[in-house]
C-alpha cells in the first residue's frame, strides 16, 4: 500500500548537467543544473531561472555547452551548483579545471568532463508555468575512455544523477534491459 507524501517532487533520476558559458568579460562560467531534458534528437531544454549568471550569458553569447557530470568529477560538479557566478568572481578558477573554446559555438568546453554537447541558443520559452532555454546540439564530443565501439558507454561514463527525495547523488550506468526489446513478449 502506498503512503501519501503530499506535494513531493517524485521524479528520479534527474540528470546532473554542467552548463558552461562565457561571460561578457570572456571568463568561463559553469553551473550545475538538474532540470534539463532532450526535447528532440538534436535539441535540449534547460529549465533555468533568469537570476542565473549562466542564463544572462546564454542570452548574450547565443551559445552554451552541456556536460553530464560523472563520479570522477562529483566534487567540482557539486561546487558548480552551490557557488554562484553572480557573487563569486573566481568560481571556475577555484576548481583548477581547464576550459578550451568550442570549435563549433562560442562557449567553453570543460576538459575534465568526458562528454560535452556544444549548443547554439535557439529560444527562450516562458509561460505561466515554464521557463526554458532551448538549444540545438551542433556537436557532441566524448573522450575515448568512455566509449565502446564508437559510442558513449554509460557504464564507462559513470554519469551521476540527482535524487530529489534526499538530495543525494547516485552513480548510473548499470544496464538492466534493452530499449525496444525488453517488453516485446507483451506485444503477443
Which CATH number fits the domain that encloses residue 18? Answer: 2.30.110.10
CA 186 to chain centre: 34
In a domain, 152, yes or no: yes
Task: Say yes or no to pLDDT of 134 above 90.
Answer: yes
pLDDT at residue 9, rounded to an integer: 81
What pTM value is reported for the model? 0.94
In a domain, 104, yes or no: yes
Cell for 79?
A: 561546487
Task: Say yes or no to pLDDT of 175 above 90.
Answer: no
Sheet holding 43-47, edge to edge: 28-33, 17-22, 63-68, 115-126, 131-142, 43-47, 36-40
Q: For 12-32, how does the pLDDT look when each residue is reduced to its tens digit (9 = 90+)?
A: 889 999 999 999 999 999 999
Cell for 161?
A: 544523477
Length of the chain measured in residues: 188
In a domain, 6, yes or no: no
In a domain, 113, yes or no: yes
Task: Say yes or no to pLDDT of 11 above 90.
Answer: no
Which positions ≥6 away from 55 have C-beta within 8 Å? 48, 49, 133
In a domain, 3, yes or no: no
In a domain, 110, yes or no: yes
Task: Say yes or no to pLDDT of 65 above 90.
Answer: yes
Pairing of strands 151-152, 147-148: antiparallel
Q: Which is nearest to 31 in space by CA: 90, 81, 71, 101? A: 81
In a domain, 164, yes or no: yes
Judge contact between 73 and 58, C-beta under 8 A.
no
Judge contact between 169 and 73, C-beta under 8 A.
no
Q: Which is nearest to 49 in space by CA: 86, 99, 12, 14? A: 86
| Residue 6 DSSP one-character state | -
State the total domains in the chain.
Answer: 1
3-class SS string, 77-133? HHHHHHCCCCCCCCHHHHHCCCEEECCCCCCEEECCCCEEEEEEEEEEEECCCCEEE
In a domain, 1, yes or no: no
Nearest-Å Rg of the Cα atoms of the chain is: 17
CA 44 to chain centre: 9
What percentage of the chain has pLDDT greater than the value 90?
87
Structural domain of residue 156, as residue ranges? 14-181
Amino acid at each position: 500500500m502506498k503512503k501519501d507524501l503530499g506535494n513531493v517532487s517524485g521524479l528520479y533520476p534527474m540528470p546532473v548537467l554542467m552548463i558552461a558559458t562565457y561571460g561578457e568579460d570572456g571568463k568561463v562560467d559553469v553551473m550545475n543544473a538538474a532540470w534539463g531534458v532532450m526535447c528532440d534528437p538534436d535539441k535540449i531544454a534547460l529549465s533555468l531561472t533568469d537570476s542565473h549568471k549562466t542564463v544572462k550569458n546564454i542570452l548574450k553569447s547565443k551559445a552554451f555547452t552541456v556536460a553530464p557530470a560523472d563520479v570522477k568529477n562529483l566534487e567540482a560538479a557539486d561546487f558548480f551548483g552551490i557557488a554562484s557566478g553572480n557573487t563569486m568572481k573566481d568560481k571556475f578558477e577555484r576548481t583548477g579545471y581547464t576550459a578550451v573554446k568550442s570549435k563549433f559555438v562560442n562557449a567553453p568546453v570543460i576538459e575534465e568532463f568526458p562528454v560535452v554537447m556544444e549548443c547554439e541558443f535557439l529560444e527562450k520559452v516562458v509561460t505561466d508555468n515554464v521557463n526554458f532555454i532551448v538549444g540545438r546540439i551542433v556537436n557532441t564530443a566524448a573522450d575515448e575512455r568512455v566509449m565502446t565501439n564508437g559510442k558513449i558507454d554509460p557504464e564507462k561514463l559513470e554519469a551521476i544523477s540527482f535524487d530529489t527525495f534526499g538530495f543525494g547523488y547516485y552513480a548510473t550506468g548499470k544496464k538492466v534491459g534493452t530499449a525496444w526489446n525488453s517488453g516485446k513478449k507483451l506485444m503477443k
